[in-house]
A and B are shown apart, each in its own frame.
Chain A
Amino acid sequence: MNAMVKAEGVHKSFGAVEVLKGIDLEVRSGEVFCLIGPSGSGKSTFLRCINHLEKINAGRLYVDGQLVGYRQKGDKLYELKDSEVALQRRDIGMVFQRFNLFPHMTAVENVMEAPVQVKGASRSQARQRALELLDRVGLADKAGNYPAQLSGGQQQRVAIARALAMDPKLMLFDEPTSALDPELVGDVLDVMRDLAESGMTMVVVTHEMGFAREVGDSLVFMDGGVVVESGNPREVLTNPQHERTQAFLSKVL
């Protein structure tokens, strides 16, 4: 299978702090790729690099064979224009820890916004599709509600529908359930499980080890800006090889 995301020696620094110290990994098309690790390990930063919300300082990062944020001619790199970056991001959906729904729009308007504004879809078509997506995440009856009128779990499901509305070939999840009440986590994970079954390529930063074990196809444990251990989630989670992984898992499992 071909690689949807390919990272080669990705480095990222914020000022003097080096957050990513050379990440090499490959996400195959159609798989659910889980990133776990303690906070500050760089997993969220790496996820944000994939759709160029953060610029990498060294290395190469490809999505679907295309260099992210740059164009290479010979051995020279050219920064892409904002509009070209926006074009790349169209195909990459992202779900945030804190939902980031647009509070001045209703649920259905949130989902319609990008197709209408970015893809130039007609409002009626976009609305139709948005309602289908809201139905898919179990929120057909909440279409007219503003985000403030929804629970955290409902907001996150709207956020997933909003990302899906752009028909992405890759979905990035940045700790999608970390800001939720334990009771509401299940609903969001159900939607993600459903999405995984439909064959979507997903990169998931998560602390939900149960989800990683059950749904994940690959798993990477990161710490201190490097990949410590990777492999099949069921193997890594039950039989970690590296002592740092063992120490981490003993605390969270």
Chain B
Amino acid sequence: MTDKFDKTPADATPSATVAKDPGADRVPPETIKAIPVRHWGRYVSAVVVLALVALLVNAFATAEKIQWHAVGDKLFDSTVLAGAGRTLLISVLAMVMGVVLGIVLAVMRLSKNPVTSWVAWVYIWFFRGTPVYVQLLLWFNLALIFPMLNLGPIYKDEMTDVMTPFMCALLGLGLNEAAYMAEICRAGLLAVDEGQTEAAHALGMSHSRTLRRIVIPQAMRVIVPPTGNEFINMLKTSSLVYAVTYNELLRATSTIGSTSYAVMEMLFVASIWYLVMTSVFSVFQYYLERRYARGSTRSLPPTPWQKVKANLLSVSGKRSVA
């Protein structure tokens, strides 16, 4: 009885006078074969743009002062690779720190406790309101005002020993990122319908479990795309830690550049690696977004590989029809 509407109408009313299969004796309509409109403007603009691109490429390719072989030689130089590795390392670690701290700050900001919410607000206000470059320099020069780091019985050391270039870079980038991530996470948490929390509570789930199992997974759909952008930004912003003498990609290439007089060439090398890293991550981000879109759309968007397969199938399908 409960599934009476699931049955197809044909089964339910076998004796009724149902119209015959409408496609059975139907004459297929004549397909329109019209001469398409010619977009002359499009051809012209394409030619102009191609010409400009050719000029630009030619200018770089024939410039005598660019030693292209230096780019090739140094692209896989061990110093450069180590620099790229450090860029990746500091970006990932700072991002992890940003995301974890960002979620904590977002929850604090939304908490009913006015003190935690106010503290989170002030944190975000400070770290979003000052340039990350200034923050990096603040960490770098912290020893000027606190020569010793004294955490009572737990830990005590000279500040200059604690604030290595790596620590400056991590704290500078990570704490700054947390402020931005907090706002992204807060928007994500607020985007989840209140009915979800109520339904979970009505089932007897605790606050924290509701947050972890129901709210955060749904907030992720809103959080992931901007977080991907943040990470791509982070990969590039990490070049600022040059200032705190952390030997990342830009510093590694610039050092070679200034000693070998191939300044521009080494900047090309750095650019190539930045592009490689951001491109690889963009692909990764696509799959991540796809995963968190589960349930929000009726069918998931295809992966590039699925698109290729579908195209191949449709091509072979057409051929078999023809």
Q: Which residues of A contact B (CB under 8 A)?
A: 51, 53, 82-83, 86-87, 89-90, 92-94, 96, 98, 100-105, 113-114, 117-118, 137-139, 146-149, 153, 157, 159, 162-163, 166, 183-184, 186-187, 190-191, 194
Known A94-B199, A114-B203; further 20 A-B contacts with Cβ < 8 A: A51-B202, A53-B201, A86-B205, A87-B204, A89-B202, A96-B195, A96-B199, A98-B195, A100-B196, A103-B295, A104-B218, A104-B221, A113-B203, A114-B205, A118-B205, A137-B2, A148-B295, A153-B5, A163-B202, A163-B203
Q: B214 near A: Cβ within 8 Å?
A: yes
Query: Given the complex of chains A and B, what is the CA–CA distance between A182 and B47 in angstroms?
Result: 60
Contact, CB under 8 Å: B295 / A147: yes
Query: Given the complex of chains A and B, what is the CA–CA distance between A113 and B217 in angstroms?
Result: 14
Number of A-B contacts (CB under 8 A): 95
Query: Given the complex of chains A and B, what is the CA–CA distance between A113 and B212 in angstroms?
Result: 12
Chain B residue numbers with a CB within 8 Å of A94 are 199, 202
Question: How near does chain A come to B293, taking the closest CB pair, in angstroms?
Answer: 9
The contact sample of 13 A-B pairs, CB cut-off 8 A, is A53-B198, A53-B202, A83-B206, A86-B201, A90-B204, A93-B202, A104-B221, A137-B2, A146-B295, A159-B199, A163-B202, A186-B5, A187-B5
Query: Given the complex of chains A and B, what is the CA–CA distance between A168 and B59 in angstroms?
Result: 77
Q: B307 near A: Cβ within 8 Å?
A: no
Q: B21 near A: Cβ within 8 Å?
A: no
Chain A residue numbers with a CB within 8 Å of B213 are 113, 117
Query: Given the complex of chains A and B, what is the CA–CA distance between A100 and B292 in angstroms?
Result: 19
Interface band, chain B: 20 to 34
Chain A residue nearest to B197 (CB atoms) is A100
Query: Given the complex of chains A and B, what is the CA–CA distance between A98 and B196 in angstroms?
Result: 10
Beyond A104-B217, A117-B209, A184-B5, is A92–B295 a contact (Cβ under 8 Å)?
no
Q: Which residues of B contact A (CB under 8 A)?
A: 1-6, 193, 195-196, 198-207, 209, 213-214, 217-218, 221, 292, 294-298
Chain A residue nearest to B196 (CB atoms) is A100
Chain A residue numbers with a CB within 8 Å of B204 are 86-87, 89-90, 114, 118, 166
Contact, CB under 8 Å: B2 / A187: yes
Chain A residue numbers with a CB within 8 Å of B3 are 138-139, 187
Contact, CB under 8 Å: A102 / B294: no
Contact, CB under 8 Å: A138 / B2: yes
Query: Given the complex of chains A and B, what is the CA–CA distance between A100 and B218 in angstroms?
Result: 13
Question: How near does chain A come to B188, taking the closest CB pair, in angstroms?
Answer: 13
Question: How near does chain A come to B286, taking the closest CB pair, in angstroms?
Answer: 19
From B1, B203, B295, B297, give the contact of A105 (CB < 8 A). Answer: B295
Chain B residue nearest to A91 (CB atoms) is B204
Query: Given the complex of chains A and B, what is the CA–CA distance between A6 and B65 in angstroms?
Result: 90
Contact, CB under 8 Å: B2 / A190: yes
Query: Given the complex of chains A and B, what is the CA–CA distance between A166 and B204 in angstroms?
Result: 9
Chain B residue nearest to A109 (CB atoms) is B295
Chain A residue nearest to B202 (CB atoms) is A94
Q: Nearest 4 pairs between A and B by C-beta? A: A138-B2, A90-B204, A100-B199, A114-B203
Question: How near does chain B come to A40, taking the closest CB pair, in angstroms?
Answer: 19
Query: Given the complex of chains A and B, what is the CA–CA distance between A101 and B176 in angstroms?
Result: 37
Chain A residue numbers with a CB within 8 Å of B4 are 186-187
Interface centre among A93, A117, A149, A153 (most CB of B within 10 A): A117
Chain A residue numbers with a CB within 8 Å of B298 are 146, 148-149
Interface centre among B1, B2, B206 (most CB of A within 10 A): B2
Chain B residue numbers with a CB within 8 Å of A157 are 2
Query: Given the complex of chains A and B, what is the CA–CA distance between A214 and B306 in angstroms?
Result: 53
Beyond A83-B206, A89-B204, A118-B204, is A102–B2 a contact (Cβ under 8 Å)?
no
